[in-house]
Amino acid sequence: MISQSPQMEANTLAKMPVGRLGKSEEVAGAVLWMCSDAASFMTGKEMVISGGQAIHS
């Protein structure tokens, strides 16, 4: 939806500290990690995968 509106895309990218939209592979990688034994000590906390958008002021 964002890519259909150049103005919406520009506004969204302006709020992204990494300067680009995320890729589905990047989110999938985090999900796979959370489902793996490597994350066995992680409990009860969210993992924000937003390219820094959540910290943009």
What pLDDT, in 10s, does the model give residues 17-45? 998 888 999 999 999 999 999 999 988 77
- Condensed to tens digits (0 to 9), the pLDDT of residues 44-55 reads 778 888 888 877
Calpha distance 43→32 (Å, rounded): 15
Does pLDDT of 13 surpass 80? yes
Residue 18 sits at the vertex; the CA angle it makes with 31 and 35, to the nearest 5 degrees, is: 5
Element spanning 33, H or E: helix 24-34
Calpha distance 46→44 (Å, rounded): 7
Give the dihedral sign, CA 25/26/32/37. positive
Indicate yes or no: pTM above 0.85.
no
Q: What are phi and psi of 18, to 5 degrees?
A: -80, -10
